Chains A and B, each alone.
Chain A
Amino acid sequence: MTETPAALNDLHFMKTLLDLLIPPSASGDLPGAGALGLSAAVATALQADPLLGPPVEAAVQALRETTLSQHPEGLPGMAPQAAVKVVEAQLDPMLIMGILLYLYPAYYQHPRVLEGIGEPPRPPFPEGFDVEATDAELLEKLRARRRA
Chain B
Amino acid sequence: MLNEPVGVLVIGAGASGAAFAWRIADTGMSVLCLEQGPWMKQQDYPSNGLDWEARGMREFSTSPNVRRLPADYPVNEQDSDISPLMFNAVGGSTILWAAHFPRLTPGDFRVKTEDGVGADWPIDYRTLEPYFALNDRMMGVSGLAGDPAYPYHEPPLQPLPLGRVGNTLASGFERLGWHWWPSDSAVLSQEYEGRAACINVGSCLSGCAQGAKASTDITYWPAAQRKGVQVRTGCRVREITVRADGMADGVLYYDAEGQLQEQKAEIVVLACNGVGTPRLLLNSRSRQHPEGLANSSSLVGKNLMLHPYAVVMGIFEEPLQGRRGPTGCLFWSHEFYRTDRSRGFVRGYSFEAIRSVGPAQTALWGTLHGLVPWGEDHHRAFARLYDHAGMLLCITEDLPDETNTVTLDPELTDAHKIPAPKVTYRLSENSRKMLAHAVERAKEALMAAGAVETVAEPLMREAGWHLMGTARMGRDPRTSVVNEWGQAHDVRNLFIVDGSVFVTDGAVNPTSTIQAFALYVADSIKQKMETLFD
Interface of A toward B, CB cutoff 8 Å: 20-23, 25-26, 30, 84, 96-97, 100-101, 104-111, 113-114, 117-119, 121-135, 138-139, 141-143, 145-148
What B residues does A141 contact at CB under 8 A? 174
Please encode chain B, from 152 to 169, with 1 for each CB lying within 8 Å of some chain A CB and 0 for all others.
100000010111101100
* CA–CA, A101 and B364, complex, Å: 7
Q: Please tell me which one of the listed residues A106, A117, A139 contacts residue B386 in the complex, with CB atoms under 8 A apart.
A: A117
What B residues does A132 contact at CB under 8 A? 161-164, 167, 321
Q: B50 on the interface (CB 8 Å rule)? A: yes
Query: Do B148 and A134 have beta carbons less than 8 Å apart?
Result: no
Q: B360 on the interface (CB 8 Å rule)? A: yes
Q: Which B-chain residue is minimally distant from A122 (CB atoms)?
A: B50
What B residues does A84 contact at CB under 8 A? 375-376
What A residues does B162 contact at CB under 8 A? 132-135, 138
Distance in Å: Cβ of A15 to nearest Cβ of chain B: 15
Q: With A96-B374, A100-B364, A132-B167 in contact, is A105–B379 under 8 Å at CB? A: no
Interface pairs A-B: 3 shortest CB-CB: A128-B199, A146-B146, A105-B54
- The size of the chain B interface, using a CB distance under 8 A, is 58
Q: Which of A21, A105, A111 has the most C-beta atoms of chain B within 10 angstroms of its own C-beta?
A: A105
Q: Which B-chain residue is minimally distant from A118 (CB atoms)?
A: B387
Q: List 21 A-B contacts (CB under 8 A).
A: A97-B368, A104-B359, A105-B57, A107-B363, A109-B54, A117-B382, A125-B203, A125-B209, A125-B210, A129-B202, A129-B323, A130-B200, A131-B161, A131-B164, A131-B200, A131-B321, A132-B164, A139-B144, A142-B146, A146-B146, A147-B146
* CA–CA, A100 and B360, complex, Å: 10
Q: Which A-chain residue is minimally distant from B208 (CB atoms)?
A: A125
Q: With A23-B375, A108-B363, A142-B181 in contact, is A129–B50 under 8 Å at CB? A: no
* CA–CA, A142 and B51, complex, Å: 40
Query: Do B148 and A145 have beta carbons less than 8 Å apart?
Result: yes
Q: Which A-chain residue is minimally distant from B322 (CB atoms)?
A: A131
What does DSSP make chain B's interface, helix, strand, loop or mixed? loop
Query: Do B54 and A106 have beta carbons less than 8 Å apart?
Result: yes
Q: B358 on the interface (CB 8 Å rule)? A: yes
Q: Which B-chain residue is minimally distant from A81 (CB atoms)?
A: B376
Query: Do A124 and B363 have beta carbons less than 8 Å apart?
Result: no
What A residues does B45 contact at CB under 8 A? 125
Q: B262 on the interface (CB 8 Å rule)? A: no
What A residues does B345 contact at CB under 8 A? none
Query: Do A124 and B203 have beta carbons less than 8 Å apart?
Result: yes
* CA–CA, A108 and B363, complex, Å: 9
Q: Which B residues, 336 to 388, have Cβ-Cβ distances below 8 Å to chain A?
A: 358-360, 363-364, 367-368, 374-376, 378-379, 382-383, 386-387
Query: Do B200 and A109 have beta carbons less than 8 Å apart?
Result: no
What A residues does B48 contact at CB under 8 A? 123, 125-126
* CA–CA, A143 and B147, complex, Å: 9
What B residues does A121 contact at CB under 8 A? 50
Query: Do A148 and B54 have beta carbons less than 8 Å apart?
Result: no
Q: Which B residues, 71 to 94, have Cβ-Cβ distances below 8 Å to chain A?
A: none
Q: Which B residues, 105 to 164, have Cβ-Cβ distances below 8 Å to chain A?
A: 144-148, 150-152, 159, 161-164
What A residues does B49 contact at CB under 8 A? 123
Q: With A129-B202, A130-B200, A135-B162 in contact, is A109–B51 under 8 Å at CB? A: yes
Q: B52 on the interface (CB 8 Å rule)? A: yes
* CA–CA, A124 and B147, complex, Å: 33
What A residues does B198 contact at CB under 8 A? 128
Q: Please tell me which one of the listed residues B161, B203, B360, B367 contacts residue A107 in the complex, with CB atoms under 8 A apart.
A: B360
Query: Do A108 and B360 have beta carbons less than 8 Å apart?
Result: yes
Q: Which of A25, A84, A110, A124 has the most C-beta atoms of chain B within 10 angstroms of its own C-beta?
A: A124
* CA–CA, A107 and B372, complex, Å: 15
Q: Which B residues, 156 to 198, have Cβ-Cβ distances below 8 Å to chain A?
A: 159, 161-164, 166-167, 170-171, 174, 181-182, 198
Query: Do A22 and B378 have beta carbons less than 8 Å apart?
Result: yes
What B residues does A128 contact at CB under 8 A? 198-201, 210
Distance in Å: Cβ of B57 to nearest Cβ of chain A: 7
What B residues does A113 contact at CB under 8 A? 359
What B residues does A25 contact at CB under 8 A? 379
Q: Please tell me which one of the listed residues A22, A105, A125 contacts residue B47 in the complex, with CB atoms under 8 A apart.
A: A125
Q: B53 on the interface (CB 8 Å rule)? A: yes
What B residues does A134 contact at CB under 8 A? 159, 161-162, 166-167, 182
Please encode chain B, from 286 to 305, with 1 for each CB lying within 8 Å of some chain A CB and 0 for all others.
00000000000000000000
Q: Which B-chain residue is minimally distant from A88 (CB atoms)?
A: B375
Distance in Å: Cβ of B273 to nearest Cβ of chain A: 26
20 further A-B pairs in the complex, CB-CB below 8 A; given A132-B321, A141-B174 = A20-B374, A97-B368, A104-B359, A106-B54, A107-B360, A110-B50, A123-B47, A123-B50, A129-B200, A129-B321, A131-B200, A133-B162, A134-B182, A138-B174, A142-B146, A142-B181, A143-B146, A147-B151, A147-B152, A148-B146
Q: With A105-B51, A111-B50, A128-B201 in contact, is A146–B145 under 8 Å at CB? A: yes
What A residues does B182 contact at CB under 8 A? 134, 142
Q: B103 on the interface (CB 8 Å rule)? A: no
Q: Which of A25, A84, A100, A132 has the most C-beta atoms of chain B within 10 angstroms of its own C-beta?
A: A132
Q: B17 on the interface (CB 8 Å rule)? A: no
Distance in Å: Cβ of B417 to nearest Cβ of chain A: 21
* CA–CA, A143 and B51, complex, Å: 42
Q: B250 on the interface (CB 8 Å rule)? A: no
* CA–CA, A126 and B386, complex, Å: 23
* CA–CA, A106 and B55, complex, Å: 11
* CA–CA, A131 and B329, complex, Å: 13
What A residues does B324 contact at CB under 8 A? 129-131
Query: Do A100 and B367 have beta carbons less than 8 Å apart?
Result: yes
Q: Please tell me which one of the listed residues A23, A111, A117, A126 contacts residue B359 in the complex, with CB atoms under 8 A apart.
A: A117
Query: Do A22 and B52 have beta carbons less than 8 Å apart?
Result: no
Q: With A124-B52, A129-B199, A147-B152 in contact, is A142–B57 under 8 Å at CB? A: no
